[in-house]
Amino acid sequence: MIEILLVEDDRALAGSVADYLSEFGFDVDFAFNGQACLDFAIKNHYDAIVMDVSIPRLDGFQVCRTLRCRQDSTPILFMTARDTLADKIDGYEAGADDYLVKPFEPQELVCRLHAILRRGRLPANEQSQQYGEILIDMKLLRVYRQGVTIELQEIPLRLLALLAESAPHPVSRHTLEKALWPDELPESNLLRTHIYYLRQAIDRPFQHNLIITVHGTGYRLAIPD
């Protein structure tokens, strides 16, 4: 049984989502505000957390940041009506693994949950790789650049690893999207959102950029000599 914590203050919606998930082998616990989510997440083990952003007491972004500060790597999927690019960037920067905008088809929620759960099971030979000045540790969800530790969530980390494996050659947008979301291609700006987040983490604190846009193609990782 897959243990899920569902954080949603609309109790009718929470009930219908839980009923649907139960048909696919998910066992659902409920929390109706952010503080209750923290209490449950700290005391119990969950395979994933599905959480609205606009919830009482602590909003979803605050809850996510708090859990990540506690080194809690439980996959978190935001399920929210907040649909702007700025909202999505805030969600990923807070530590989310995925972001689903309401209204949505329940089947898409199930697909996304299975995808983030699969990403959490990494083969041992994928856990740590060195690429120039970048060391990628898939197990600890960390990148080291010039001795500086950078914490990343699963999707940005996999995105960086995909670019690193082909460096210095570019990788097309379509190839990246198919690798990151094999079940269903996402909305068009989701990859761009993760690239933006990755650049903020990997490039902004340093003197030269490693994440390069190749116009008309995709992106590449520059590995200095």
Give CA–CA dist 168/224, Å, rounded: 9
- Residue 130 shares a structural domain with residue 165: yes
Question: Of 104, 119, 134, which residue is a domain's last?
Answer: 119
- Residue 93 shares a structural domain with residue 150: no
- Residue 153 shares a structural domain with residue 78: no
Give Rg (Cα) of the chain: 18
Lateral strand order in the sheet of 218-221: 171-172, 218-221, 211-214
76-126 residue pLDDT tens: 999 999 999 889 988 988 889 899 999 999 989 998 898 888 765 544 445
- Residue 134 shares a structural domain with residue 95: no
Question: Two tokens at 122?
Answer: 């990494």
Question: Of 58, 87, 119, which residue is a domain's last?
Answer: 119
Q: Which CATH number characterizes residue 164's domain?
A: 1.10.10.10
Q: Which domain holds residue 87?
A: 2-119
Alpha-carbon distances of 157 from 85, 122, 126, 128, rounded to whole Å: 20, 12, 12, 11
Question: Does 58 have pLDDT greater than 90?
Answer: yes
Q: What is the pTM of this model?
A: 0.63
- Residue 135 shares a structural domain with residue 55: no
Give CA–CA dist 94/88, Å, rounded: 10
Tokens 């859990």, located at residue:
67
- Residue 41 shares a structural domain with residue 144: no
- Residue 132 shares a structural domain with residue 172: yes
Q: Which of the four pLDDT bands, split at 50, 70 and 90, describes residue 223?
A: confident
Question: Of 62, 89, 119, which residue is a domain's last?
Answer: 119
Q: What are phi and psi of 108, to 5 degrees?
A: -65, -40
115-147 residue pLDDT tens: 888 765 544 445 567 777 888 887 677 888 877
Alpha-carbon distances of 89 from 2, 86, 95, rounded to whole Å: 28, 5, 10
- Residue 188 shares a structural domain with residue 135: yes
Q: Which CATH number characterizes residue 31's domain?
A: 3.40.50.2300
- Residue 21 shares a structural domain with residue 90: yes
Q: What are phi and psi of 211, to 5 degrees?
A: -90, 110
Number of domains in the chain: 2
Bridge partners of 159?
Answer: none
- Residue 64 shares a structural domain with residue 98: yes
